Amino acid sequence: MQNLFFEFVFLILIILALVMVASKLRLAYPIVLVLGGLALSFTQLFDNIRIDPEIVFLVFLPPLLYEAAWQVSWKEFWKWRRVITSFAFPVVIITSCIIAVVSHALIPGFTLALGFLLGGIVSPPDAISATTIMRQVQVPRQMVSIIEGESLLNDAASLIVFRFALAAVLTGQFAFGQAAGSFFLVIVLGTAIGVGLGLVFYAIHRWLPTTPSIDTVLTLVTPYCLYYAAEHFHYSGVLAVVSGGLLLSSKRHSMLTYRSRIESVDVWSVLSFVLNGLVFLLIGLELPTITRELDGGLEPAIGYGLLISLTLVVARLLCSFGAVLFTMFASRFITVADANPGWRGPMVLGWAGMRGVVSLAAALSIPLLTPQGQPFPYRNLILFITFIVILVTLVFQGLTLPWLIRKVKPEDRHRTFSDEKQELILQKKLALQALRYVESNTMPTTEAPNEYLQNLQSRLQLDAAFFTHELEEAPGPPNETLHHFHQNYLELLNQQRSLLHEMNHRMEFDEEIIRKYLTILDLEEYKLREKQLQKAGPE
């Protein structure tokens, strides 16, 4: 146990090194982590570490889904709900059917039930890789929102298909009407459990005397409670986590204090990074185990894996463009977010179909034996095909997606203002609102003037005038004066830090107070650096 613990510590250090390499090479870190894990698998240094599907589904999946739900904008999710749900449910089901037919025709002795099982395993794309890449290049924000929203639902759809296909293989029976009814029951009741428990946790945060530490721990516990409650009753734990996460995310400002929001975001950012790093590295480490257990020869299995991968890529592209045609047709009868999506966006969305850890965990969860005590048919081949699909789509599509985005140049037709202009408008409105409040609450002239309010009023007047000037100024090249101000202000913050560190050596000042002001300076620098990054834009 102790050795296993230190092996995971070394794995985390390797993850940090590989992520730094990915940053240096300007590659999405999931690609580098999978390739790094693949290279490590040949060294036999981490042979004791295996992906346990129960651990992935119970330990890794709930917090990753919950964190993703908190990151998704409910406004964007609702705006693109039809596109998201079409990719999450119909496209997953269509893809599973295509894979079932192709694998049945391609692999000797492979039944349709096994084909649907394989389809349920490999149909859900992994959004982490796609969004990581999309944030590195210029891409319309709605595309990132659609990919993020899809990722919240497609895992649930694919795992439900996998569950029914597995039951069909084990029992040899499949009743379509009963399966369809159970499918919707699993979805509806899984969502209902998520919303119901989400309201319970909302009440705890909102009305009980919690502290920031308690709030943060509650957010860590919540996804596991949501997932376990739904799975205990054999409903969709994934949808329970997603629905509960979306509900609580939309209520965060009413149920959490400012300190709870800041502290929980920091904790979740680190936790999500470590969990994602581990699962992508473990995917690469699984290759020797899967290859050793393979029956029937390596070359035919590689061929099957490559053909299934090609089928998945083509199927997603066809579904993506099919969704465009359906949207154009439906716009005649109902209001849609985009009546004419064009071809550029669907092309990028269709290519952003990399597979990930959910597919491998689902494949690993296939039982070794059937209820009759016989070896599960084609289990090792399904595992190997799944690994090939993950490797091909993640590496090939992941490496070519930035090139495709630069060539296709998807249009951003749904944004009225640029990021910079939106920020200036918001800052101006905030300054004017604050100024109106201060002016209406200024001390009467008969009393002594409030110097603090007068100082604040002067600052707000200057801010409002500055933002007005920036909005009226014609867009052009980067403002060198503003850049010079930013550089000087950053140096000013460094000088203030040096002064605080110097004062910390004096016994009359408490270090706790010094740290408080150092944190304030860090927040100031963080805001300024974020503005610089937004102005620079993706490279």
Judgement on whether residues 432 and 386 belong to the same structural domain of the protein: no
Tokens of 469: 């000037």
Q: Which DSSP letter does residue 448 get?
A: P
pLDDT at 285 over 70: yes
Judgement on whether residues 369 and 443 belong to the same structural domain of the protein: no
pLDDT at 441 over 60: yes
pLDDT at 376 over 70: yes
pLDDT at 288 over 90: no
In a domain, 96, yes or no: yes
pLDDT at 360 over 70: yes
Question: How much is the pLDDT for 533?
Answer: 66
Question: How much is the pLDDT for 82?
Answer: 79
Highest averaged pLDDT of the listed ranges 166-170, 217-221, 442-446, 510-514: 217-221
Specify the number of domains making up the chain: 3
Tens digit of each residue's pLDDT (9 = 90 or more) over 528-538? 887 766 655 54
How far lies 353's CA from each of 278, 316, 320, 348, in Å? Answer: 21, 7, 11, 9
Please state the rounded mean pLDDT for residues 276-295: 80
Query: Could you give the CA distance from residue 225 to residue 56 in angstroms, rounded to a whole number?
Result: 16
Give the domain-ending residue among 357, 376, 408.
408
Kindly provide the b/e burial profile for residues 461-491, where b requires at least 16 CB atoms within 10 angstroms of the residue's own CB.
eebbeebeebeeeeeeeeeeeeeeebeeeee
Residue 537's domain comprises 487-539
In a domain, 518, yes or no: yes
Tens digit of each residue's pLDDT (9 = 90 or more) over 20-62? 998 888 888 888 888 898 888 888 777 777 777 777 778 888 9
Q: Lowest-confidence range among 60-74, 194-208, 455-469?
A: 455-469
The radius of gyration computed from the CA coordinates of the chain, to the nearest angstrom, equals 27
Question: How much is the pLDDT for 431?
Answer: 82
pLDDT at 311 over 60: yes
Judgement on whether residues 375 and 466 belong to the same structural domain of the protein: no
Percentage of the chain exceeding pLDDT 90: 19
Question: How much is the pLDDT for 177?
Answer: 60
In a domain, 131, yes or no: yes
Q: Taking phi first (over 0 means left), then psi (-120 to 50 degrees means alpha), and beta for anything else, what does residue 449 get?
A: beta
Question: How much is the pLDDT for 539?
Answer: 45
In a domain, 372, yes or no: yes
Q: Lowest-confidence range among 328-332, 353-357, 495-499?
A: 328-332
Please state the rounded mean pLDDT for residues 74-100: 84
In a domain, 482, yes or no: no
Tens digit of each residue's pLDDT (9 = 90 or more) over 208-225? 999 999 999 999 999 999
Query: Could you give the CA distance from residue 265 to residue 270 in angstroms, rounded to a whole number?
Result: 9
Query: Could you give the CA distance from residue 274 to residue 93 in angstroms, rounded to a whole number?
Result: 31
Judgement on whether residues 325 and 465 belong to the same structural domain of the protein: no
Judgement on whether residues 348 and 444 belong to the same structural domain of the protein: no
Question: How much is the pLDDT for 243?
Answer: 92
**For 269, phi and psi rounded to 5 degrees?**
-60, -45
Judgement on whether residues 458 and 491 belong to the same structural domain of the protein: no
Judgement on whether residues 516 and 401 belong to the same structural domain of the protein: no
Question: How much is the pLDDT for 6?
Answer: 82
Judgement on whether residues 433 and 379 belong to the same structural domain of the protein: no
Judgement on whether residues 446 and 535 belong to the same structural domain of the protein: no
Helix locations, 352-450, DSSP H: 357-364, 379-392, 398-408, 419-440
Judgement on whether residues 388 and 498 belong to the same structural domain of the protein: no
**Amino acid identity of 232?**
H
Please state the rounded mean pLDDT for residues 312-332: 82
Judgement on whether residues 214 and 311 belong to the same structural domain of the protein: yes
Cβ-based neighbours of 117, under 8 Å, separated by 6 or more = 162, 165, 166, 168, 169, 366, 382
In a domain, 481, yes or no: no
Judgement on whether residues 394 and 422 belong to the same structural domain of the protein: no
The length of the chain is: 539
Question: How much is the pLDDT for 538?
Answer: 47
Please state the rounded mean pLDDT for residues 362-373: 81
Q: Is the dihedral of CA 496, 501, 504, 505 positive or negative?
A: negative
Please state the rounded mean pLDDT for residues 141-152: 80
**Measuring CA to CA, which residue among 342, 323, 344 is closest to residue 410?**
344
pTM for this structure?
0.81
Helix locations, 123-257, DSSP H: 127-134, 141-171, 176-207, 212-232, 237-250, 252-255
